[in-house]
Structures are given as C-alpha cells and as structure tokens.
Amino acid sequence: MPRDPVTISLTTFEESTHMDVGAPSPFSSDVTHSTLSEPTEQPTMDALVIRGGRKLSGRVEISGAKNAALPVMAATLLAPGVHTLRNVPLLSDTRTMARVLEQLGARVEFRGHACKIDTSRIMSFEAPYDLVRTMRASIYVLGPLLARFGAARVSLPGGCAWGPRPVNLHLEGLKAMGAALEIEHGYIAGKDVELHGADISFENVSVGATAQLMMAATLASGTTVLDNVALEPDVTVLGQVLIGCGARIEGLGSRRLTIHGVRELHPVDTTIIPDRIEAATLLAAGAITGGSITLEQCDAGHLAAVMHHLEDAGCDVLPGNGEVTLSGPTRPSALEITTAPFPGFPTDMQAQMMALCSIADGVSAITDTIYLDRFTHVPELQRLGAQIELKGNTALIRGVDRLQGAPVMATDIRASAALVIAALIAEGETRISRIYHLDRGYEQLEQKLRSLGADIERISE
Ligand code: EPZ
C-alpha cells in the first residue's frame, strides 16, 4: 500500500568536510573528568572587561564545533558501546549534554578534548527539565531513545532569550514515523514505540528537525525520505558519523535524504569539525580592529557566505589549507545582509556583523529570515553608541565614527560575542556581564583574543 507523504511546516508541526570515522578505542584508566558527581552547572557571574583600541594580529586555533558536537554526542545513544569523540569543545553546553547522557545511564569521560561515551548500559529514558531548560539541544536525545528503546520522556525545551523556539517539526516528523507522543506535565513522552519509515517534506528548513529525524530513521523499520533538509555542515557530518556507525543514508549534502533503517549500529571513533561560527566571529573581530589575523584548524569551505560579506566590507580574506587569513580595512564599508539556511549567511553571525556595521561608512541593513526577533543585542549595542533602527526583522545600522565603552549585558551566545567585538574598538572600558552565555558557545574566547593583542580580562562580579 503506497505511503502518504507528509509535509510538515512551521505552522501545522554535499560536498562538505569529510569526518574521520573509525573503530573506537576502550576507556583509559586515568580518567580526567566525569560530570556525574557535579550538580547542575550554576552559571558563573563572571564579566569581561575590555579596553578598546588595539588592532588584533597573529594566529589563533579554532576549536571543535558546538553545533556538530551536540548532535553527535546524542547520536551515541543509537549504538551500544564505547564511542570516542575527538576535538570536542570544552563548553558548558557540551558538559550539559554529557550530564543528560549520564542521567540516562551513559558513562562520559573527558580527556582533554577527547570524550569517551559508553552507552552500553542505558537505564533511564528521561531527560529532566533542569538540564533541558539550560540547553535546547538536549532534545536531540528524543529520536535516538525512541529509535533504540521505543521509549522516551524528554522535557519540552521552552523558549530562548529572543523568543519562542517550537519543536513541532521534530514531533510531527516522529509522529509520521509512528511515534505516539504525548505532552504531559511539560514532557514529551512516548512508550512502546516502533518507528517505521515515512516520506517527510519540510516546508521550512530546520537544522534540529533534520538531525532528529535522520537519527531516528537509522533504526526505523523500512525507508525514510526526508525532503528539503538542512545542509549545515553540522548536519552533513552527523550523517557521516551515523554512516560510520553502520547506518544506511543516501543523499548527504543534498536537500533530500533517503535513510534505510538497519537493525543495529556500532560505536565509532570520530573527530568533531572546526567551529565555523567561532571562526567567523574571530574574523569579524579582526575586521573591526583593522587588524591582520590568521585562523588555524578551520575550514574555509564552511565560511564562504561570511567571507564574501567581509570582502564587501573592505577586508582582504585569504582562504588556505585549513586556515584563513584576514586583513581588515581602515574603516569597513556598509553592508546589506540577509540570513538564510546554509550555504546562505548564518543567523548565528547576524549580531556579530551588526557590531561591525555599527562603525561602517554608511547605512547597513541586516535582515534575519530564520529568527524574526533575534535582536536582543540591539539595545546593548546602542548603549555603546551604535545607531540602530529596527523595522520588523530588519535592522538599519547607521555607521558612527566611534563607539564608547559602557557597562552592557549579554543575553545569548551570539549577542555576547557581538558585544565583545564592539568593545574591541569602543573608546575606554566596556564591561560585559552575564558572560555565562558566551561560555556556552565559545571556548576560551578571551584567551584567544588576548593572544591576538586584545586588552581583555575576565573578572568575577
Ligand atoms: C540550530 O538551532 C542551531 N543550534 C542554532 O544555533 C542556529 O541558530 C539554528 O540552527 C539555525 O541555523 C544548534 O545547532 C544546537 P532550526 P535549531 O530548527 O536546530 C523554526 C547558536 O547560537 N522551527 O534550524 O533550533 C525555528 O524557530 C544556536 O549556536 C520551528 O518552527 O534551528 C527557526 O525559526 C542558536 N519548529 C527555524 O525553524 C521546529 O520544530 C530554524 O530553526 C524547529 C524549528
């Protein structure tokens, strides 16, 4: 009997980096870090103090990608055994994911940037509100738990700093694959679930829903076709990791994925790709100071849209093998940017580029088509003297000659990065509080900026 294709929309709800995938190596005795014993991480009340006016120069290494590491960590639930993930960024978000996995019964140990995850003995199917509310990506355990165990109880993530962030695409997709899910007491719950293949078409591209359904489909009976999927490198390399676990996935790097369910998967040893948003953030920092920097351990292929706009701003950008060099202009030119799913301009760089445009020569326009209300950084940039007017989901930025240091507050990961960038050229001292937001997505950002010559220090408030 022909299957009815399902279109899920917001309302009703390639060729990229190769990832090393091989046989895992066993747990080492000299464990350096486990998170199980620690209570839920309390956000630090640290602040950053930045004295602006120094040109950045030098070389700096890019860390592993947060948005690739999180789904790969969750995907280890699909395959019983010991997985080894290398180049995992040491962030509060990856520690939170480790806690979620440990809460389920996995054993997680960090050894530097290598993370071993043993998913042989999963005892619980519940991801608690206390952890999920601190990091939406915890929802990535839902699909793998349903696929491997037929049961899950995962807290609904709720909204974020800039507004509602529904997960209806995740839920409608899983329902189309046969999961009878209930929302009870703020939890998504399902039991006795047997996932089967389905034809699912996304009306709107979603990174999270693509990853979620791709993971779930690997162990579902039959074949799943996902149409209009996300092409973000984080998603494509997740697919490569799943194939390394023994999954049968066709079409990676295209907008249509075909996943033939298999009976079981096996553990992997893999390396997380470089963080393209961290790289882009540092390039914007180099540009705003008119400096000259080289990023190492980064993939220029993931940065094309950002590099294109930085060149429009007057930067010289030289991509190389595993590195990118940028020389900034005396004064950037105004820009016109519209965010879009990869390979379009990333919404996760919208705020940082707004900081750059705040001192550009002319009026810039930045439109966010992914999150129509992602502008919590605007009033904080205005506190530094930026002239920004919001018209719906477009910000008009009239470049000023100079910004002035002031106390400001971080509101989310990328908004805090934008404040850091603006502070690098603001006259006098800027104090950015609530930088626990920054620590969620950037590993040792102040040390990296200091190594490039910035006058920046972390203080506790
Ligand atoms: C991922 O979020 C990233 N997070 C985000 O980065 C990033 O901004 C976003 O993709 C877009 O690139 C991680 O990878 C952990 P989506 P995700 O599903 O998966 C709507 C950062 O700073 N939508 O592609 O949540 C949604 O509201 C973070 O590192 C639904 O309506 O993004 C948005 O408007 C912030 N229903 C659009 O689709 C759904 O079920 C795209 O969201 C799912 C999404």
Q: Could you report the per-residue pLDDT of 326-343, keeping only the tens digit for each?
A: 999 999 999 999 999 999
337: Cβ–Cβ under 8 A, 6 or more apart, which residues?
309, 345, 350, 353, 364, 365, 366, 367
pLDDT computed for residue 160 by the predictor: 74
Distances 93 to 65, 346, 356, 389 between C-alpha atoms, Å = 11, 20, 27, 32
pLDDT computed for residue 21 by the predictor: 40
Total residues found in the chain within this entry: 461
Mean pLDDT on 432-437: 96
Q: Are strands 292-296 and 363-367 parallel, antiparallel or unpaired?
A: unpaired
Between the CA of 208 and the centroid of ligand 1 the distance, in Å, is 6
**Ligand 1 contact, 440 CB (< 6 A):** no
Chain centroid offset of residue 390 CA: 25
Mean pLDDT on 268-289: 98
CA 172 to ligand 1: nearest atom: 40
Rg, the chain, Cα only: 22
Burial of 116 (0-12, 13-18, 19+ CB in 10 A): buried
**Ligand 1 contact, 170 CB (< 6 A):** yes
pLDDT computed for residue 34 by the predictor: 46
Sole residue written with tokens 């486990």 = 34
Reported as a single tens digit per residue, the pLDDT across 89-130 is 999 999 999 999 999 999 999 999 999 999 999 999 999 999
Nearest residue (CA) to ligand 1, atom 44:
206
Its pTM stands at 0.93
∠ CA 206-212-213 to the nearest 5 degrees?
Answer: 90
**Ligand 1 contact, 347 CB (< 6 A):** yes
18-27, 241-250, 367-376: lowest mean pLDDT where?
18-27
pLDDT computed for residue 26 by the predictor: 42
- Other CB atoms within a 10 A radius of the CB of residue 354 amount to 27
**Ligand 1 contact, 166 CB (< 6 A):** yes
Q: Are strands 455-460 and 387-391 parallel, antiparallel or unpaired?
A: unpaired
pLDDT computed for residue 163 by the predictor: 77
pLDDT computed for residue 16 by the predictor: 36
Chain centroid offset of residue 370 CA: 14
Mean pLDDT on 53-67: 98
184: Cβ–Cβ under 8 A, 6 or more apart, which residues?
none
pLDDT computed for residue 32 by the predictor: 46
Residue 160 bears catalytic tag? yes
Whole-number average pLDDT of the chain: 92
Torsion sign (Cα): 72, 75, 77, 80? negative
Distances 229 to 3, 128, 213, 346 between C-alpha atoms, Å = 20, 29, 10, 16
Mean pLDDT on 156-179: 89
Provide the Cα torsion 130, 136, 138, 140; round to 10°: 150
pLDDT computed for residue 44 by the predictor: 74
Nearest residue (CA) to ligand 1, atom 5:
348
Nearest residue (CA) to ligand 1, atom 41:
206
Sole residue written with tokens 């893999």 = 270
The residue among 12 and 129 whose pLDDT is bigger is 129
Q: Is the pLDDT of residue 55 over 50?
A: yes
pLDDT computed for residue 42 by the predictor: 66
Q: Are 167 and 206 in contact (CB under 8 A)?
A: no
Which candidate, 44, 171, 156, places its Cα nearest to that of 434? 44
pLDDT computed for residue 162 by the predictor: 79
Burial of 205 (0-12, 13-18, 19+ CB in 10 A): buried
Distances 359 to 81, 121, 289, 321 between C-alpha atoms, Å = 52, 55, 10, 31
pLDDT computed for residue 263 by the predictor: 97
Q: Which of 66, 93, 203, 207 to mutate to test the pocket of ligand 1 (most atoms within 8 A of CB)?
A: 207
Percent of all residues in the chain with a pLDDT value above 70, rounded to a whole number: 91
pLDDT computed for residue 14 by the predictor: 37
Mean pLDDT on 266-291: 98
pLDDT computed for residue 446 by the predictor: 98
- Other CB atoms within a 10 A radius of the CB of residue 106 amount to 22
With H, G, I as helix, E, B as strand and everything else as coil, classify residue 66.
Answer: helix
Percent of all residues in the chain with a pLDDT value above 90, rounded to a whole number: 87
CA 210 to ligand 1: nearest atom: 18
Q: Are 173 and 213 in contact (CB under 8 A)?
A: yes
Question: DSSP characters for 410-456?
Answer: --SHHHHHHHHHHHTTSBSEEEEE-THHHHHH-SSHHHHHHHTT-EE
Q: Is the pLDDT of residue 35 over 50?
A: no
pLDDT computed for residue 59 by the predictor: 98
